[in-house]
Structure 1
Amino acid sequence: MEFNIGPRMVKTGLAVALTLIVTDWLGLELEIVAAIAAVLAMQPSIMRSYNYIKEVVVSNGVGLLFALLGTFLLGTHPLSVGVVVIISIAINIRLGLNKTVSLTVLTIITLMLVNEEGLSLLYVLTRLSLVTIGVVSAFIVNVVIFPPDHQKNLFSLIKQASEKMNFMLRVLPNKTMSIPEIKKENEEVEKLINDAKDYFEIISDERSRILIKDRVHFYRNIVIFKHMIRVLGKKQNLIEQLERHIREIEEIPGNKAYLIKKLVKEMNSYSENILLLYEDKIILNTDLQKETKTAMQITINNLIEELQGSEFGRWNVVFPIANSIIELFFELDKLERLVRINEIKEGRG
């Protein structure tokens, strides 16, 4: 059983601790409300924390309005609180404030738990300050403690997914992997790709952040990461086609199976080299790469020639794999050009 404590867990704990220290120092009751707000407000990036605070201002305004109306019109009976919560959730979703629904509900419940003195301005401000302290504490901790290196994390996910898919592309054509193992690997790859896409969205959000050291470098990397994820999608498609058709292809007379296996092997090597080039771990000779790509194009042409005059049934089997290989080749070619441009701009080429 794995037990990993990540930076976000640590930051959430620190945000709760900071919240409790502040509420204790101010002598505020119901500090648990502020602690819950801190947990809800912890976001995976600085920019998302900032956007979350902006959304909190609007959603808490909605929560405050409905809490006051609910208290005066319906009272503070548990059923009244439930009705107000339902209406406020519907309004928040309608306004597109989905991320802060939980915090709005917390605000409403906190405000509608009226004390013996009744609803007063001081009471409202005190209860709202609990939520504010929690949200602001989460933001401060997110900015100061372990600022996330999303580009490093994203590339790590892309590399893991690529390595797993390269392994599958090596063994699938030779039919040396069992069906349960293929299914397990596919699930892991799918998760890594989805995680990479989520991280890419986080990085895209960070584009609006003011404090970026080298904005041009940042934008170049966004474009490269976008193409890397597209390459993963093309690889995934090729793997699916190989799983479906490789056995049928081997039964077809001619050179088709050999050419497909050769191309898959070359695509694997090409893909690995591009990632190593991006990491600045190898130097790829431009002329040598041109020769390699020309050789791949010749092999693709040979495969197409092999298909000429084939029956429809054979086309139906071979074409999906051939098409996936061609799409992957062109996507890798684009990615290599982008990585080389990045090298030149950074003075490494």
Structure 2
Amino acid sequence: MEFNIGPRMVKTGLAAAVTLIITGMLNLELEIVAAIASVLAMQPSIMRSFEYIKEVVISNLIGLVFSILGTFLLGNHPLSVGAVVIISIAINIKLGLTKTVSLTVLTIITLMLSSDAGLDLVYIYERLSLVAIGVLSAFLVNIAVFPPNHQKILYGMIKEAEEKINFLMRVLPSKAMSVPKIKEEDREIEKLITKSKDYYEIISDERTRLFIRNKLNFLRNIIIYKHMIRVIQKQYTLVIQLEKNIEAIEKISSDHPYLIKELVAEINSYSENVFLMYEDKIILDTDLQKEAKTAMRLTINNLIDELQGSDFTRWSYVFPVANGIIELFNELEKLEKLVRFKQLKDTKR
């Protein structure tokens, strides 16, 4: 059982601590409300924290209005609170304020259940201050403590997925791994690809931040990461097609498996080289790459020529693999051009 304490956990704990210290200094009651608000408000990026604050303002206004109406029209009976919560959640979702639903519910419950004497301006101000302190504490801690290096985190995810896929592409044609182990690796790769796509959305949000050092370089990296994710998706599609069809291909032909294995080895090497070039670990000679690509295209053409006149069964097994190789090759070419363009711009700085 793994036990990891990540930066976001630390920041959430610090935000709760800062919130409790501030509410204690101001002698505010129900400080637990502010602490809960700080935990709910902790976001994975600075930009998302900023967007969250904007959403909090709108959703809490909705919560405030419904709390006042609910208290005066229905009282503060638990059933009344439940009815107001249901209506406010429905309106929040209708307005697209899904991220702050929990905070809106917290505001409504705090306002409606804690006042036996009814609502007045001082009481409303104090209760809303608790939520504001919690949200702002989370925002400030997110900026000041362990500001996330999103590019490094995202590339780490992509690189891990790419390495796992490259490993599978090496062992699948030679059947050097058991089926259960292959399935286990497949699940891990699927998780990494999903995490990469989700995290890309986080880093993509950062494009609208006002203060980014070397914004052009940041935007170039964003485009590269997008294409890297496409590459690992195409790689994984090819892996799945190899798993499904390689045995059948070997049974129906003696030439096709050799050509496919040669192509897979070449494209695997090409993929690794492009990623290493992005990391500045190797320099890819343009002329040598052109020769390698030409050789790859000739092998693909040979494979297609071999299929000419074949019956449907052969096509049904070989075509998905050949198509996967071609699509992956095209994506890798695009990625290589983007990486070379980035390196050219970096050297001119």
Q: What interval of TM-score do these two structures reach, taking the shorter chain for normalisation?
A: over 0.9
Superposed CA offset, 1:187-223 (max 9, x none): 1101111111111101110010011011110110111
1:269 corresponds to which residue? Answer: 269
Counterpart AA for 1:42: M
Indicate the RMSD between aligned Cα atoms, in angstroms. Answer: 1.0
- Give the equivalent residue in structure 2 for 1:327: 327
Deviations 1:153-173 (A, max 9, x none): 000000000000001111111
- For residue 216 of structure 2, give the secondary structure of its aligned residue in structure 1: helix
- 1:265 and 1:163 map into 2 onto residues whose CA distance is 14
What CA distance in whole angstroms lies between the structure 1 residues aligned with 2:23 and 2:262?
66
For 2:338, give the aligned amino acid: L
Partner Cα separation in structure 1 for residue 65 and residue 39 of structure 2 = 24
For residues 272-303 of structure 1, what are the alpha-carbon distances to aligned partners after superposition, in whole Å with 9 as ceiling and x for unaligned? 11111000011111111111111111111111
Aligned to 2:258: 258
Deviation at 1:348, TM superposition (A): 7.7
Matches within 5 A, 1:286-325: 286-325=286-325
Q: What displacement does 1:180 show?
A: 1.3
Match in the other structure for 1:100: 100
Shift of 1:118: 2.5
| 1:262 to partner: Cα distance | 0.7
Residue 284 of structure 2 is matched in structure 1 by 284
1:254 CA drift (Å):
3.5
| Structure 2 Cα separation of the partners of residues 110 and 97 of structure 1 | 20
Instruction: State the Cα deviation string for residues 69-118 of structure 1 (Å, max 9, x = none).
Output: 11111110111111110110000000000000000000000000233432
2:237 is the alignment partner of 1:222: no
Gaps of 5+ in 1: none
- 8 Å contact kept, 2:263–2:299: yes
Aligned equivalents of 1:24 and 1:186: distance in 2? Answer: 51
Letter in 2 for 1:77: H
Partner of 2:19: 19
Q: What residue identity is the alignment partner of 2:293? A: K
State how far apart, in whole Å, the 2-side matches of 1:79 and 1:72 are. Answer: 14
**Alpha-carbon distance, 1:182 to partner:** 1.3
Q: Which amino acid aligns with 1:13?
A: G
Give distance in 2, aligned partners of 1:31 and 1:302: 73
Q: Deviations over 1:228-279 (max 9, x none)?
A: 0000110111011011101000012241100001111111111111111000
Aligned length: 349
| Cα distance in 2, alignment partners of residues 291 and 237 from structure 1 | 26
Partner Cα separation in structure 2 for residue 165 and residue 214 of structure 1: 32
Instruction: Rate the CA distance shift 1:348–1:320 in 2: closer, same or farther, 3 A.
Output: farther
Residue of structure 2 in register with 1:182 after alignment = 182
Unaligned stretches of 5+ residues in structure 2: none
Q: 1 CA distance for matches of 2:20 and 2:110?
A: 17
**Paired residue type of 1:171:** V
- Post-superposition Cα deviations, 1:47-74, rounded to whole Å, max 9, x if no partner, equal 0000000000000000001111111111
2:29 alignment partner in structure 1? 29
Q: Secondary structure at the match of 2:117?
A: coil
3-state SS of 1:99 partner = coil
> What's 2:149 paired with?
149
Contact 2:71 2:118 in 1 (8 A): no
Alignment partner of 2:99: what SS?
Answer: helix
Q: Is 1:173 matched with 2:173?
A: yes
The corresponding residue for 1:213 is 213
Matched to 1:145, the amino acid is V
Q: In the aligned structure 2, how far is the partner of 1:114 from the partner of 1:169?
A: 62
Give the match's secondary structure for 1:274.
helix
Taking structure 2 as the reference length, the TM-score comes to 0.99
Q: Separation in 2 of the partners of 1:155 and 1:253?
A: 40
Give 2:182's aligned amino acid: I
Q: Distance in 2 between matches of 1:332 and 1:305?
A: 24
